[in-house]
Amino acid sequence: MIQRADLGGAKAAGPAAAIAASSPATGPQRDTLQRLMQLSVGQAYQASVLAKLQDGTFLVRVADAQARMALPAGTSAGDSIVMTFAGKEPIPTFLLARSGSSTAANVSDAGRMISNLLQSLQGGPDIPHVSAAQPLLEDALPANVGKVAEALHHAVESSGAFYESHVAEWVQGRRPLEAIKQEPQARFTQDAPVPDVPEAAPDSAGAASATPAEVDARLVVRQEPSMHITPEAASMVGIQLHALEQRELQWQGQLWPGQELQWTVREESGGHGSAGSGEAAWSSSVRFELPSLGVVSASIHVQGSHARVSLKAHGEAAATALQANGSRLAASLEASGTFLDQLTVARDGDR
């Protein structure tokens, strides 16, 4: 998992990390700002430290534009750094990419992290799954079943299994930051200190003066990865690895208070529809205990606009009731644009 960068709102950068523009931009400054605004969000750029200014900040050249920003202690004129453009508002913002001192050290660090992760995963559940601490719905089954589908969709989307891809969407401006904060990985580190850019002490000796063309920019230092893997983080990595390898995600929790639910979503390796359709095939399995029907399990296979459903119940009466209401299920699916190709109902244990 990647480390959080600037997910903590006002705490993301210290006083030296954000330099607010204090005066209207001049003509040269407008030209420089326009060049910075043309940079691609998420793209890494090679930057050169041109000079240290009298106030302790630095003059940096990036993409043929000069920006004034605070840099970590120990930075000197002539240094080259790699920065990733993270945003344009309220001022140009960059993330500082740091690398280890050597390739050997990087490999050693990665090896220790993997070793710690494997140790943390030992003794865990056979099938890694997402667990919900709170029921998805406040009350029992609502009249509008669309609310159930919406709640289940949100449970999977915010489970943390797709955190890295969601962060990439945030960097590209396609996902709000508030949605990222709701995922477990953001909560893992919300109490951990986010490193600020160290305040550079003013040094008038050999310091340069600001130029008319330079503009203010902000630099956020990416949090260094920790070799310590918490049980929560290890569990989430196990879920992600299982999803990548098995193409499935399992969720367990309460659908509403007192109603336990086990739910699995799986991407099928082969299609079940017409040959050569090229459409993705998915299966979804649920198991729960209902007040009148008892324990019921259901599996649905969907490809395109066609579905096959298999239902199993513990008792003969429950199986008969499910079979009798098959036409209602078919009508509901068809109303949503999905056609029921096959429905099978059996007692649990029957072949």
Number of other residues whose CB lies within 10 A of the CB of residue 79: 14
Q: What is the pTM of this model?
A: 0.53
pLDDT of residue 195: 42
| Among 84, 103, 104, CA closest to 94 | 84
Token pair 């029992």 is found at 140
CA distance 160 to 182: 9
Specify the DSSP class assigned to residue 53: B
Measured between alpha carbons, how far is residue 328 from residues 141, 299, 325, 331, 347 in Å?
17, 17, 5, 5, 20
pLDDT of residue 341: 95
Where are the domains positioned within the chain? 1-126+165-246, 130-164+247-347
CA distance 152 to 172: 26
Query: What would the CATH number be for the domain defined by 130-164+247-347?
Result: 3.30.750
Q: Which residues of the chain have pLDDT under 70?
A: 1-27, 97-126, 141-143, 189-215, 220-229, 270-278, 349-351
CA distance 12 to 194: 6
pLDDT of residue 266: 92
Residue pLDDT, tens place only, 264-299: 999 987 544 444 556 889 999 999 888 888 899 999
CA distance 231 to 246: 22
pLDDT of residue 103: 41
173: its two tokens = 């401006």
pLDDT of residue 2: 35
